[in-house]
Structure 1
């Protein structure tokens, strides 16, 4: 198939998915997106209906080398990346980065560790409703947390870091969802103050504007990253799984980073104690789903109706009550991998799964003992860890290839 080069083949953005890039090229040249998609793709070899990009055809269309395209588009890389290192759902990134790439919305497949654009100091966060990225100029601790996150990644690898940061977010969400605290002031007050900047109240409209669950994750992100080294470190995991004296050292260190205990003595349920009991001895949690390359059509679908409905419902309750904020995070799909560590739904409703993640009762201890005996009968297996590295999610203006890997992530 002979493919003519486009007159203005703009460069792809870093970590952009091919359908997004080809869609922007079609828009800039007044072409039909699906027709252009068909020209540069072929049916997947498995015989399915999905179409995957042929790197040589896209190179002929843009006049760029396959190597240069693969540096920005993960789907074109050979060998294929380990898709578990990436979020399973493509999303928009930093709007300042995207402004450099004409032709429409830029959709990227970001690695798990990318929450903040360090170049522009904006919050990207987990996939959510496509609001513009949040400016973090007034919240420098959130930007610093991303740098700490990258250092944890460099030390412990992507799998342990993925589990540690998600577990940290989950524990912070539990702390933020308690009705009735043991002390008058605590970490939750810091989160409330941050949230006032992330989701401000419009006094004229008497309503909160720009609500997004992703912004709520930004409020707890610094403390989640502060907890992450304790969760990723084999030393601290051994203390958490050790004798009462060793566990006391672990809980003391936890209390140096967040307010703990976070419940009054007369209330049951403790997510941190549950993690120490049931999860500290287990291997890191893996993503429940992974990204699948290719698609049937080049035009990207719009926002799913069920996602929009969930967002509108969450925004309604936030505007009405502005309470129990951590509960909203616990219901977000971003935390499912650490709430469903066994990958099985044991309860009819999600509230049961959340409750289970705080259990430390005798029945829970008996269940954990049985799980440990079963796991000790099997040889341990840890997946090979790789790191997906980049300094910025921006693409160089001259269109040259970004390195696929670098010493630091």
Structure 2
């Protein structure tokens, strides 16, 4: 095989990010097979066709099931709301298509279990599945993982993680599908909290084993709009509807290796646009990262002489750093979209080489269990085993 035909289901925010990745990946990375943007699928024919032309897809269709029957489609890329992930992913895997599915993998643990089991069965036939936790492909977080694996931080004591946004802090912001539990599964917890759960587990190479948390909805009713298809609606109707997900999530965690974690995910951090922050403290050093300065990793080496010790600002733009050699000269930073390109590269290579990509659907299920544990803890007020 020299080409890998891609069918992308959904074409909004994530669809645009994934499209850019598929377009760019073969031009900057040496890939064993070339991804081909064969077909885009959307519910509305006119909008899907316009998106296909704008984003670079060869054609557009409205029935996702039809792409599973096509010989020119080898990969199904799922960029739809969470309530559709399980049905599409399981059907695609059973049809022999490799699957890349956006996070969170599912809306419930039961759905995630079904997806993980389908992926396990498919793997026996050489069919691969991966979850789109793109932030683990940011070079600075890849370097963080490497430093932890090398023992540069010693024994890990503390993990602090935040994901702060403010896009719905205005109570007049209209209701959207992301605020509907049936479609989204959860609010800030699953949408952005899932990212910091995966990122911290990735960096430590350990799973979260226990959680205790609380969920809060600050604005329980929001204006209805004539369309609920995006982050914001249009043409307010004058009516309101209920917000059925959390606006913010706070939880404590214990990692399998003994580290303590504190996590915060909110869409009400006024002034914070996309602040994914992680700090890790160990017996021999510390790391700190903020996505709003995404090309930098702060590293403290606790073994240095106290007279000169301090956090070191590492510009993660050297060719020795993860993924960076394919891009620009040192000091020329990367952006949000590059993590999706790295994701596409890793997925294509795994499929071509017949290896299991990461994060797997089993990894996605683990994250789903953490999210479910936080929800259960918020309801019960007690620690929950993951």
**Shared fold per TM-score greater than 0.5:** no
Shorter-chain TM-score range: under 0.3
What TM-score, normalized to structure 2? Answer: 0.24
Q: Which has the higher helix share?
A: 1
**Bigger radius of gyration among the two:** 1
Q: Which has the higher strand share?
A: 2
Higher RCO structure, 1 or 2 (CA under 8 Å, sep 6+): 1
